[in-house]
Structure 1
Amino acid sequence: MQVTETLNEGLKRSYKMTLSAKDLDAKVMDKLKEAQPDVEMKGFRKGKVPLALLKKQFGDRVLGEAMQETVDDAMKAHFEEKKERPAFEPDVKMTNKDWKEGDDVEVEMSYEALPPIPEIDLKTIKLERLVVKADDAAVDEALANLAESAQDFKDRKAGVKSKDGDQVVIDFVGKVDGEAFEGGSAEDYPLVLGSNSFIPGFEEQLVGVKAEEEKAVTVTFPEEYQAEHLAGKEAVFDCTIKAVRKPVAAKIDDELAQKYGAEDLAGLKAQISERLEAEYAGASRAILKRNLLDVLDEKISFDLPPTMVETEAKQIAHQLWHEDNPEVQGHDHPEVEVTDEHTKLAGRRVRLGLVLAELGQKANVEVTDAEMTQAVMNQARQYPGHEREFFEYVQKNPQMRQQMRAPIFEDKVIDFVVELAEVSEKEISKDDLEKAIEAMNDE
C-alpha cells in the first residue's frame, strides 16, 4: 500500500493511503486459496471448487475482509515505522466514495500523535514528607468522641421538660380517621429527639414534654411513604410520656474499651493512636503527591494533543457545574461553557497523566489481579445486597475496569517516583497538617 503524508502540523497527522486494485485482487485470491481446501459445494468434491467459482460466490465478502485487513496492516506498519502512538483511535475513511470493483482504494487516515515525553532524572526531585505523631491530647479528644457516641441516658428530675437530644420513653397509638392502623402502636419505645427516625414533624412535637404527660402528635405521612394506604394521609398519635432522659457520655474506662473490641483502656488508646497516625499519614501522602505532581508539571514541558485537552476541559467544566448545582441529577441542562481556567487545568491533567503513564511503562508498573479484585470489593460494599450484580457489571464493562484501574496505577507510579526521589521528613502538629490540607484544597 502506498502511503503519502498530507498533514504534519504539531501533533496532527494525516495520510493518504492507496491500495491498488491489483494488490487487492491478489489479497482476495490469497484468502480464497487459503479457504479452498475446506469448502464444499454441490457438484464438487471438498477442496476442489474452482477459485473462479469461489470468487463469484464469496468474492464480495472476502473483498471487504481483504480491504479491512490491508488497511489495518498498513496502519500498524505505519505506527511502527514512525514510532508514534495515536492519542485516540485514528479517523479512517474512504475518499473515493464512487469506488467500484477494479478501482484502486483510496483511504484517508487522520489522528493526533501522542507527544514524546522528555526524560527526567527522578533522583534530582526533592520532596518533603510531613510527619505527625498522635499526642496524648489527640488521643484523649478521640476517646471523648467515642464516649459521646457510646452515650447512655439518665432520667431527668421529675417535672423537667424534654430537650432536643433527649430520649423519651413513650407508649403510642397511631390513628387515621379515628381508626388505629396496623404497625402504628408501641409500648416503652425509646425515642431520641432529633434522631429523625420517625415521620417528619413527630419528634419536634415531643420537645418540651414531661414524664407522665399525655400528648397528641399530629403528622402527615409523606406522599412517597412505603405503605401506600398511609401515604399522604394525616395521622394522630396519642402518646404517653413514661420517662424523659438526658444524654450522658459513657465513662472512659475498661468497659468502654471492651465495647470497641479492646482488652482494656490502654489497648483502646493504642488502637486510637495507630488509627490517628494512619489518618495523618494518609493526609501527609496526599500533600506529598500534590507537591510531586507540581514538581513534575514544572520540570516537564511538551506539546499536548489538542483533542485530549479539549475533551478533558469539557469533563472538568461538566463536573464542576454539577458540584455547583447538586440538585440537578441528570444531564438535561444547558451546555456548560468551557473557560480558560478549565482548559488550563485540563492541560495540567493531560500532561501529568502522560508523564505518569510513561514513567509507569518504563518501570514496568502493573496493576495485579489481586489489586483489582480488592478495589472492586471495596466499591461493591457501597451497594449492600447487590454486590454480585456490581461484580458482574464490572466484569462486562471494560471502561469501568479502566476507571478503577487508573487510580491504582497512578498511586503505584507515585510510590515508584517517591522511592527514587530525595525525600526529607518534617515533624509538625496536627493543626499544621490540617492547615496544609486546607491550603492544598483551596488551590
Structure 2
Amino acid sequence: MQVIETLAEGLKREIKVVIPAKDMEQRMNERLADAKDKVRINGFRPGKVPVAHLKKVYGKSIMADVVNEIVRDQPAAILSDRGEKSATQPNITMTEDEAEADKILNAQADFEFTLSYEVLPAIEIQPTSGIKVTREVVEVSEEEVNEQILKIAESARAYEAKDGAAENGDRVTMNYLGKVDGVAFDGGAAEDADLVIGSGRFIPGFEDQLVGVKAGDEKVITVTFPADYPAANLAGKDATFDITVKEVAAPAAQELNDELASKLGIESLDKLKEIVRGQIESQYGSVTRQKVKRQILDQLDELYKFETPATLVDAEFENIWRQINTDLAQSGKTFADEDTTEEEAREEYRKLAERRVRLGLVLSEIGEKGGVEVTEEEMQRALYAQLQQFPGQQKEILDFFRNTPGAAASLRAPIFEEKVVDKLLTEIDVTDKKVSKDELLADDEDGEVKTEKKKAAPKKKAAKAESSEAAAEGEDAPAKKKAPAKKKAAEGDAE
C-alpha cells in the first residue's frame, strides 16, 4: 500500500492511497479460501467447491467487502502512523467511473482513494502562573433571606374578606365574560376566578380597572389584547369583559415564624432559612463562577494564538448564525433594528466562532495533558438530567443518545470543560473580593456575556414569551402566565 501526501497547506492535508491490484486479489483469495469450507452450493460437496467457481459467484461481493473495510479502517491507521489527528471525519473520495470500479472489484486495477482533512494544530501548553483572576463573593444577608422567604410565601398567603374598595395587592374573586365586537369568545369566561391586583397575571390594563371595586359590583372592563398575543383571533383586538365582583379580600400579614415554614412544607423557620440561604448562595455562586471562567478564557485567548481548523469554525459559525436568525425571526426584528448589518454581524460571529473553537482546543489539550477524565457516573448524571427535562420522552431520549454518533460527546464536553476550569483554578492566582449583589450582577443584567456580546442578538419581549407560555398551558384568555424564574443566559452559557 502506497501512502502519498499530495497536499500540505496550513492545516489542510490530502493523502492519496494506492493498493495494488495484486494485493487486493490476495485479500480476496484469502476470503475465498476461508469461505470454501463454509458455503453450500448445489452440485458440490461441502468443502469441495473450487476456488475459481467461488470467485466467479462471490468474487465481486467479497471484493466490495474488502474495499469497505479498507475505507473504514485505513484512514485512522494512516493518521496514527503520521502522528496526526483530524479535526473532523476525513473526507474520502474514490472513483465514480463504473468501468473503473468494475475493474477494481475484479482485481484488474489498483484500488485508489483520497483522504482530505484538516489536522488539529499542535498546541504547546503555556505556563498558567501568570493568569490572575478576581473572584467576586457576595455575603448573603439575613434581610435578603427574609425577603426571599416572604416572596416564596406569597403562594401560601392568606386573604381576609373586607367591605371596602379593592386596592393594589387585594384579591378579587369574580365572574367574567369576555367579548370582541360584542360576541363572546372561547376561553374568555370564568366563574369564581381569583386575581390579585398588581400580580400581572392578566393582560395589560385589566387589573388596573379593578382598583376601587367592591363586593357585588358589576362593571365592564375595556382592554386591548397585545399584538403578539398567541391566539391569532384575539391579537391586537379591543375587547370588553363583563365582570361581577363576588368578594374583595385583603392580604393577611405575613410573619416569619415556624407556622409559615410549616405552610411551606418545612419543619421550622431555621430550616427554611437554611434552605433559602443555600439557594441564594448557589445562584450567586453560579454567576461568580461564570465571571471567573470568563476571566480565565479571556487570558487563555491572549496566551494562545494559532490557526484553527476551518471546518470546525464553519460548523460553530453555522450553529451560532442559525440561532441568531431564529432569535431575530421570533422577535420580529432585523439587523438594522440592532444597529448593525448582516455583513457586520457575520464578521463578528465568525470571530466569535473562531475564538470558541480555539479555546475549546486549548481546554481539551490542557485537560488531556493534565489527566482530566469524565467518569461514567458523571455521564450517567448528565444523562439523567436530560431525561428530567423531557418528562414522558425518556425512551426517545435514551434511543437518541444510544444511536446518534457524537450524542454522548455532547454530554461529556461541558462536564470535561468545567473539570478543566476546576483544574486551572488550583494553579492560577485567585483573589477573592467581597462585592454587593448589584456589583456582582452588574455585567450580566442584559443576559449577555461581556466578552462575547452579540450586537444582533435580539432580546425577546417578556410579554411575548409569557403569553406564549400561557397559550401552551391553556389558560383563560385574559390571563397572562408569569414567566418562571430563570437564570440569565450569561450564567449558564458563558462561552
TM interval, short-chain normalised: 0.7 to 0.9
Separation of aligned partners in 2, 1:359 and 1:315: 25
What TM-score results when the alignment is normalised by the length of structure 2?
0.74
Preserved CA contact (<8 Å) 2:177 2:188: no
- SS at 1:325 equivalent: helix
| Paired letter, 2:354 | G
Return the match for 1:313 from 312, 317, 320.
317
- SS at 2:274 equivalent: helix
When residues 428 and 343 of structure 1 are mapped into structure 2, their CA distance, relative to the original with a 3 A threshold, is same
Separation of aligned partners in 2, 1:96 and 1:238: 75
| Paired letter, 2:287 | A
Separation of aligned partners in 2, 1:48 and 1:165: 95
Instruction: Indicate yes or no: 2:15 matched with 1:15.
Output: yes
Return the match for 2:358 from 351, 362, 380.
351
When residues 31 and 122 of structure 1 are mapped into structure 2, their CA distance, relative to the original with a 3 A threshold, is farther
- When structure 1 is superposed on structure 2, of 397-406 and 37-46 the one drifting more is 397-406
- SS at 1:326 equivalent: helix
Separation of aligned partners in 2, 1:427 and 1:218: 51
| Paired letter, 1:441 | V
Instruction: Indicate yes or no: 2:306 matched with 1:302.
Output: yes
- When structure 1 is superposed on structure 2, of 400-409 and 22-31 the one drifting more is 400-409
Return the match for 1:212 from 191, 213, 216.
216
- 1:73 Cα deviation (Å)? 4.3
Q: Which residue of 1 aligns with 2:132?
A: 126
Instruction: Indicate yes or no: 2:77 matched with 1:77.
Output: yes
Q: Which residue of 2 aligns with 1:432?
A: 439
Alignment root-mean-square deviation, CA: 4.0
Separation of aligned partners in 1, 2:120 and 2:93: 21
Return the match for 1:285 from 264, 279, 289.
289
Return the match for 1:145 from 131, 137, 151.
151
Q: Which residue of 1 aligns with 2:34?
A: 34
| Paired letter, 2:170 | D
Preserved CA contact (<8 Å) 1:150 1:249: no
Preserved CA contact (<8 Å) 1:96 1:105: no
- SS at 1:339 equivalent: helix
- 1:11 Cα deviation (Å)? 0.5
Return the match for 2:349 from 337, 342, 366.
342
- SS at 1:118 equivalent: coil
Q: Which residue of 1 aligns with 2:114?
A: 108
Q: Which residue of 1 aligns with 2:56?
A: 56
| Paired letter, 2:248 | V
- 1:30 Cα deviation (Å)? 1.2
- Which has more radius of gyration? 1
When residues 154 and 277 of structure 1 are mapped into structure 2, their CA distance, relative to the original with a 3 A threshold, is same
- SS at 2:442 equivalent: helix
| Paired letter, 1:46 | P
What TM-score results when the alignment is normalised by the length of structure 1?
0.82
| Paired letter, 1:63 | M
Instruction: Indicate yes or no: 2:411 matched with 1:404.
Output: yes
- 1:3 Cα deviation (Å)? 1.7
Separation of aligned partners in 1, 2:390 and 2:326: 23
Q: Which residue of 2 aligns with 1:331?
A: none
Q: Which residue of 1 aligns with 2:492?
A: none
Separation of aligned partners in 2, 1:185 and 1:107: 72
- SS at 1:106 equivalent: strand
Alignment of structure 1 residues 414-429 onto 2, 5 Å? 414-429=421-436
- SS at 1:14 equivalent: strand
Q: Deviations over 1:38-75 (max 9, x none)?
A: 11211222222111111101111111122233344442
- 1:300 Cα deviation (Å)? 1.7
Q: Deviations over 1:327-382 (max 9, x none)?
A: 57xxxxxxx76622112111110011111222223334333333233223333333
- SS at 2:389 equivalent: coil
Q: Which runs of 5+ in 1 are unaligned?
A: 226-234, 329-335
When residues 109 and 178 of structure 1 are mapped into structure 2, their CA distance, relative to the original with a 3 A threshold, is closer
When residues 438 and 213 of structure 1 are mapped into structure 2, their CA distance, relative to the original with a 3 A threshold, is closer
Return the match for 1:442 from 436, 445, 450.
450
Preserved CA contact (<8 Å) 1:205 1:217: yes
Separation of aligned partners in 1, 2:321 and 2:254: 48
| Paired letter, 2:372 | V
Size of the aligned set, in residue pairs, is: 430
Q: Which residue of 1 aligns with 2:455?
A: none
Q: Which residue of 2 aligns with 1:229?
A: none
Return the match for 2:368 from 357, 361, 368.
361
Preserved CA contact (<8 Å) 1:4 1:15: yes
Separation of aligned partners in 1, 2:19 and 2:44: 34
Preserved CA contact (<8 Å) 2:163 2:215: no
Separation of aligned partners in 2, 1:201 and 1:423: 51
Q: Which residue of 2 aligns with 1:267?
A: 271
- 1:110 Cα deviation (Å)? 1.1
Alignment of structure 1 residues 239-278 onto 2, 5 Å? 240-248=244-252, 250-278=254-282
Separation of aligned partners in 1, 2:328 and 2:262: 44
When residues 441 and 70 of structure 1 are mapped into structure 2, their CA distance, relative to the original with a 3 A threshold, is closer
Separation of aligned partners in 2, 1:82 and 1:425: 47
Separation of aligned partners in 2, 1:182 and 1:115: 61
Q: Which residue of 2 aligns with 1:25?
A: 25
- When structure 1 is superposed on structure 2, of 166-175 and 352-361 the one drifting more is 166-175
| Paired letter, 1:132 | V
| Paired letter, 1:377 | Y
